[in-house]
Amino acid sequence: MTGFYYPRTKSGKSAILPPVPWHYSGELITMEYRTDVEAVKALLPEGFELADEDPGAVAAIWADWQSCSDDFNEVLDPVRLQYKEMFIVIRCKYKGETYSRCAFIWVDKEFAIIRGQHQGYPKKLGVIQQTRPVNVGKAGPRLAPGGKFGVTLAAFDRRLAEGVFEITDTAEAPGFVNGHPMAHSRWYPAIETDGTDSLSEVVTMSGFDVDFGRCFKGDFDLTYFDSPVEELVDLPIREKIGAYWHEVGVSWKAGTTLERRTLEDIG
Q: How confident is the model at residue 40 (pLDDT cuts 50, 70, 90)?
A: very high
Percent of the chain with pLDDT over 70: 99
Percent of the chain with pLDDT over 90: 98
Whether residue 107 is predicted with pLDDT greater than 70 in this model: the reply is: yes
Helices (H) and strands (E) in the chain, counts: 3, 14
Q: How confident is the model at residue 86 (pLDDT cuts 50, 70, 90)?
A: very high
Quote the mean pLDDT of the chain: 97
- Residue 67, judged by CB atoms within 10 A of its CB (0-12, 13-18, 19+), counts as buried
Give residue 263's pLDDT. 83
Q: Is the CB of residue 216 less than 8 Å from the CB of residue 171?
A: yes
Nearest alpha-carbon partner for 183 in 45, 41, 30:
45
Burial letters for 177-187: b for 16+ Cβ neighbours within 10 Å, e otherwise?
Answer: bbebebbbbbe
Q: Is the CB of residue 163 less than 8 Å from the CB of residue 221?
A: yes
Q: How confident is the model at residue 116 (pLDDT cuts 50, 70, 90)?
A: very high
Give residue 266's pLDDT. 62
Whether residue 267 is predicted with pLDDT greater than 70 in this model: the reply is: no
